[in-house]
Amino acid sequence: MKNLSTKKPRVTAPAVIEKVLSLEDLVEIAHVLQVERRNLIKMRNTILNMACAFARQSVGWNPTLETKASTALKKQAIKLANAILCDTEVAPESQAAAQVCIPVISPLRSSFLMLEQRITEHDKSMAKLAPQFPVWPWVNSVAGFGGTGLCIIVGEAGDLSKYDNPGK
Tell me the average confidence (pLDDT) per consecutive run of 10 residues in the chain, 168 residues long.
Answer: 49 57 90 96 98 97 95 97 96 96 97 97 94 91 93 90 69
At residue 19, the pLDDT reads: 67
At residue 76, the pLDDT reads: 97
- The answer, as to whether pTM is greater than 0.75, is yes
Q: How many Å apart are CA 90 and CA 68, to the nearest integer?
A: 22
Cα 12 to Cα 7, 27, 121, 149, 165: the distances in Å are: 15, 12, 14, 20, 31
At residue 9, the pLDDT reads: 47
